[in-house]
Structure 1
Amino acid sequence: MPADFHSLGGLLRAWRERLLPSDVGLASVGNRRTKGLRREELAAVAGVSSDYIVRLEQGRWLTPSAQIVASLARALQLDRTETELLYRAAGLAPPGPGTISQHIPPGVQRMLTRMADLPLGVFAADWTLLTSTRLWDVLFLRPAAGEVPGQNLVVDTFVNATSTAVADPDGGADAFDRALVADLRRTAAYAGNDPAFASPIALLHEHSPRFAGLWAEGAAAAFRSLVQTVHHPLVGDVRIDCDTLTVPDADLRIIVCTAAGGSTAAEQLARLRTAI
């Protein structure tokens, strides 16, 4: 065991070395003289530069942001205890009760890797995108979560109006808007005082009278599965089922999009896969 096992750099090296490229959905390339993920592979999965990983492991950068730590924890497939240890090694307080968790359990990480050929997005309880498959990014015309952290579906819907420009949900925009706000109301029951939650809620109230009106109604309900028609410039309108999966003890919204085998939508998704 390295002498600096409990330092930030030592922890990153130890956890990086226990993963294989296949564990994170990467192909193993070239001769591998050392075990585990290479630094550039971890960097690619975490959405940071390989030089940044080098500096962290060498102790030349000791104060990563909470957002970076959360991204590294997901990339390294850490459990809750290990994630807390990583936060403390970085000089940060781990997220506690009453806060929005960005933790994705290792088992869910492995499941996501095996579902990489589907459009799939994983959201925190405030609808911030934590990770997504490449087909999700291509289908919904969005940058990857690692490239542009902090993308929030509610803000995109009510303030930026980007989500409604890309896809139309069955039942119309009104039903979709109400479902999002009602789900967010459920989160407010335990995380209403979390600054990371309160800040976007204030932004939404300031810039979207529509959101403010729905929020004032006080409806609270879990977000349900839906059917969407995605307007894609390459393959046309794609009508898909978007099912919402939940994980016990992990307050996540996992949206998985599928199409019936042999359908036009399935053919359209296949065409998008070849374009990745």
Structure 2
Amino acid sequence: MTSTGLRRDELAAFLRTRRARLRPAEVGLPEGVRRRTPGLRRQEVAQLAGMSVDYYVRLEQGRGPHPSRQVLAALARALLLTRDEREYLFRVAGESPPPSAGPSREVGPGLQHLVDAMTETPAYLVDACYQVLAWNRMATYFIGDLSTVPPEDRNMIRWSFRRPAEDAQWTDEELLRFLRSSVADLRASYGRYPNDPGLRQLVTELLGTSPRFAQLWAEHDVGERHPIVKRVAHPGLGPLEFECRVLHVPEGDQRLIVYVPGPGSPTHAAFRGLAERVSS
């Protein structure tokens, strides 16, 4: 490691392995003649990144100057690096990773299948701004049928702070803990995605419309959500008690929120009965 934090050997090895895994067709290049080794050639990576072949060769050999942030960003694009790989590239080069443009709102088929497969448990997926991205049929009995709601209005935090000032739920200590935790998590996202217009718009809107949100936001608490026990007087199912689990999905910086009743509890029985009615 150099005094600048550049780990030349690790950077060189990482570039070589990322280059070797790519096929020319993946980056829009012709396959051409038979290749002696798998992956792209060094000159092809240099061409894609807009740099000289000599400069790139020296990087792969663990020598040469400290790569600039612009060079690292170009290499990340040329090698089709994932978000985690891009972050690693910057760190081994002794640089702070650039902030991501914004929260991921893509729902992979595996996650969608997982949400749908929870037939006896309300579950829904949110992004780092608490925009609801996916939900199962059980969840509609708690958060409504969001297929009838415009996508821009499917935000949990916006719903929470739209409650009128006289709403009795503002005296619920568990609700207040839930909201405080949510706002702290939202502030953490605000730090990760400073350039996301949707997140900035949400915060600006709530600061102007909700004194309660403004008060919590001004406390500058930062932290991820933790599980809490929720007690709900459901209009169709009666009194319920369940643990609200928040499971983080690292690759998309998303959260899977699941309502988990105690085994054999009255809430467990109510959820099972609801699931049977929904499926019949």
TM-score tier by shorter-chain length is 0.5 to 0.7
- Output the CA distance in 1 between the equivalents of 2:233 and 2:169: 5
Structure 1: 4+ residue segments shifted above 3 A: 164-169
- Output the CA distance in 1 between the equivalents of 2:276 and 2:169: 21
SS in structure 1 of the partner of residue 270 of structure 2: helix
Instruction: Kindly state the Cα deviation for residue 167 of structure 1 after the two structures are TM-superposed.
Output: 11
Query: Which of 254, 269, 272 lines up with 2:271 in the alignment?
Result: 269
Residues 168 and 230 of structure 1 are in contact (CA less than 8 Å); yes or no, is this contact kept in structure 2? Answer: no
- Output the CA distance in 2 between the equivalents of 1:176 and 1:156: 13
Q: Within the alignment, does 1:105 sit opposite 2:114 as a pair?
A: no
Instruction: Kindly state the Cα deviation for residue 168 of structure 1 after the two structures are TM-superposed.
Output: 9.4
Q: Deviations over 1:221-271 (max 9, x none)?
A: 001111111221112111011111112211111111121232111111123
Residue type matched to 1:270 in 2? R
Go from structure 1 to structure 2 and tell me whether the alpha carbon gap of 1:247 and 1:141 turns closer, same or farther (over 3 Å shift): closer
Query: Which of 236, 239, 242 lines up with 1:240 in the alignment?
Result: 242
Residues 168 and 229 of structure 1 are in contact (CA less than 8 Å); yes or no, is this contact kept in structure 2? Answer: no
Comparing 237-246 with 257-266, greater Cα deviation is found at 257-266
Residue type matched to 1:201 in 2? V
Residue type matched to 1:180 in 2? S
- Output the CA distance in 2 between the equivalents of 1:228 and 1:182: 19
Query: Which of 175, 179, 201 lines up with 1:177 in the alignment?
Result: 179
Go from structure 1 to structure 2 and tell me whether the alpha carbon gap of 1:165 and 1:120 turns closer, same or farther (over 3 Å shift): farther
Residue type matched to 2:109 in 1? P
- Output the CA distance in 2 between the equivalents of 1:111 and 1:131: 10
SS in structure 2 of the partner of residue 218 of structure 1: coil
Write the mapping of 1:1-276 to structure 2, written as runs, cut at 5 A.
Answer: 97-138=100-141, 140-144=142-146, 146-148=147-149, 149-150=151-152, 151-160=154-163, 171-276=173-278
Residue type matched to 2:148 in 1? E
Residue type matched to 1:106 in 2? P
Residue type matched to 1:233 in 2? P
CA RMSD of aligned residues (A): 2.7
Partner of 2:20: none
SS in structure 2 of the partner of residue 104 of structure 1: coil
Gaps of 5+ in 1: 1-79, 81-95
How many residues in Structure 1 have an aligned counterpart in Structure 2? 179
Residues 120 and 271 of structure 2 are in contact (CA less than 8 Å); yes or no, is this contact kept in structure 1? Answer: no
TM-score normalized by structure 2? Answer: 0.58
SS in structure 2 of the partner of residue 249 of structure 1: helix
| Paired-residue identity, % | 29
- Output the CA distance in 2 between the equivalents of 1:267 and 1:117: 10
- Output the CA distance in 2 between the equivalents of 1:253 and 1:161: 27
Go from structure 1 to structure 2 and tell me whether the alpha carbon gap of 1:179 and 1:223 turns closer, same or farther (over 3 Å shift): same
TM-score normalized by structure 1? Answer: 0.59
Instruction: Kindly state the Cα deviation for residue 174 of structure 1 after the two structures are TM-superposed.
Output: 2.3
Partner of 1:6: none
Go from structure 1 to structure 2 and tell me whether the alpha carbon gap of 1:121 and 1:263 turns closer, same or farther (over 3 Å shift): same
